[in-house]
Structure 1
Amino acid sequence: MNIPTGKKIYFSSDNHLGAPTREESLPREKKFVKWLDEIKQDAAAIFLLGDLFDFWFEYKHVVPKGFVRILGKLAEIRDSGIPVYFFVGNHDLWMTDYFESELDIPVYHKPREFEFNSKIFLIGHGDGLGPGDHGYKRMKKVFTNPFSKWLYRWLHPDLGVPLAQYFSVKNKAISGEEDQEFLGEDKEWLIQYCRRKLEKKHYDYFLFGHRHLPLAFKLNENSLYVNTGDWINYYTYAVFDGEELKLKKL
């Protein structure tokens, strides 16, 4: 994809809408919708890198109540012709085809390569990548197992949704919110993951969320890892103008 002159690509992640309560997250949702309304003027594409919701589960005929502002704005943006891409995070990993069928937004469950203006990007949410975090990796296998999802769907939504929301808010060990200080490049799993990927192939940019820590880390002279931070404490996002990727704050 070649970015037209004057256009930009925007990246954001980790809104965790609905947490700790819908009422408390509503101002953040409104702020994010306003931001989307502003960037649609020059957006060539928008990437949402996961954990847009603090919990999301799709039953056969039911999705979680609420979030009409963000869903309506995304529908409007797509209807205007602007591409939107969604990468599931660890809090909305039970997303299936609702975004694709209702909003025409492709949904990705793993990191994916893109090329913009001859620059190669590797983009994803970031959970479970790199060495370590073995407890979460085992838990993710259980959560994403088709049989586990089938069993959970037998819970009535009036039970299943609030139950999952309770544990989603309480269990911050798997949310990426615990360590919001830079741990050093040898202890940052996503940095280790990026370096391992560079051993096999060149990437100009790595873009991830999950960590809740806005970060632009130079891996070598030609490769940059950017973490988009979050819309809880930092209100940060990344922008690619066709030549350079920058991390920005609202």
Structure 2
Amino acid sequence: MSLPAYFISDVHLGVNPPGALPGREKKLIQFLEFIRGKASHLVLVGDLFEFWYEYRDYVNRNHFELFFALRELVRSGCEVHVMQGNHDFAYGDFFPKTLGVQVHRSLVLEIQGKRVFFHHGDGVAKSDRGYRIMRRILDLPLNRWLFRQIHPDRGMAIARFVGRNSRKLGESREININEYLDWGTSVLKRRNCDICVHGHHHIAGIWNVKNGVVASPGEWIWKPAVLRMEEGGLILDTL
């Protein structure tokens, strides 16, 4: 029997809004240590961090214990992947080169005889049209270079300020789950997959659709949950 695979989304490390679970980074590290040697795959399905940007000689020291835990998980034989989210899309080569963790915008994996498609889910809903335009602008090489000229401490402060304000706007936005299910159904057919896993809307669930299954691990800010894949099926575990 193959080892289980685990999927987690929207941890948003680096921000603690009112009511957030205290010590959730420590809880995540404990989970990574628990599955060491007991998991075939771990996929972090976007927005692991509230903000991530890599400078040439700078790495955020607030997350060193997490980095060590991820590296040890990889060394145990677990295949670890991180999806780019809308908050943490500016990865460089630190994760793949130093930790052995692969970074993707979208990904298809063969797990337990199933083809599983992964994507954070940002830009899927019609209401994300403005975000899609902004993402292209922020991701331009010139704009990345300009941001790199800012001192890391100052850059992080700017990012936290922007993140707090965008979060307030997002809290009032109504989520149409059917938009995500329609997109997932289309992806399953287009990519010839059995399962589509995404995050972004923070709603945990497993939905049977026409071409297979669409699932979301939920979030780790208020109610941490993990999507576990075992013997080709999905189980939603709350922690």
TM-score normalised by length of structure 2: 0.90
Question: CA deviation digits over 1:39-83, x for unaligned, max 9?
Answer: 224201111111111111101111223112211111111122221
Residue 205 of structure 1 is matched in structure 2 by: 195
SS at match of 2:62: coil
1:17 aligns with 13
CA-CA distance at 1:178 after TM superposition? 5.0
Q: Post-superposition, which runs of at least 4 consecutive aligned residues in structure 1 deviate over 4 A?
A: 176-179
Report the counterpart of residue 54 of structure 2 in structure 1. Answer: 58
Q: How many residues align?
A: 237
1:116 matches 2:111: yes
1:166 counterpart (161, 165, 175): 161
Q: Distance in 1 between matches of 2:99 and 2:139?
A: 23
Alpha carbons 2:112, 2:231 under 8 Å: kept: yes
Aligned: 1:227 with 2:223:
no
**Distance in structure 2 (CA, Å) of the matches to 1:147 and 1:121:** 34
The equivalent position to 2:44 in structure 1, one of 35, 42, 48, is 48
Per the TM alignment, residue 128 of structure 1 is displaced from its structure 2 partner at its CA by: 1.1
Which 10-residue stretch deviates more, 10-19 or 32-41? 32-41
Contact 2:21 2:223 in 1 (8 A): no
Q: Tell me which of 124, 127, 145 is aligned to 1:129.
A: 124
Identity %: 30
Superposed displacement of residue 182, structure 1: 6.2
Where does the alignment leave 5 or more consecutive residues of structure 2 unmatched?
none
Summarize the alignment of residues 1-250 of structure 1 with structure 2, pairs less than 5 Å apart.
Answer: 5-20=1-16, 27-108=23-104, 110-129=105-124, 131-172=126-167, 178=172, 183-185=176-178, 189-220=179-210, 223-250=212-239
- Letter aligned with residue 10 of structure 1: Y
- Paired amino acid for 2:69: K
Deviations 1:103-157 (CA, angstroms, capped at 9, x unpaired): 011111x222112232111111111125441111011111111111011111111
Which of 86-95 and 162-171 deviates more? 162-171
Unaligned runs of 5+ in 1: none
TM-superposition CA deviations, 1:158-202 (whole Å, max 9, x none): 21121112211221168x6555x86352xxx32121122245354
The residue identity in structure 2 corresponding to 1:75 is R
Contact 1:49 1:208 in 2 (8 A): yes
TM-score by length of 1: 0.87
Cα RMSD (Å) of the superposition?
A: 2.1
More helix by share: 2
- Shift of the 130–166 alpha-carbon distance from structure 1 to 2, 3 Å rule, reads closer
Please give the alpha-carbon distance, in whole angstroms, between the structure 1 residues aligned to 2:228 and 2:84: 20
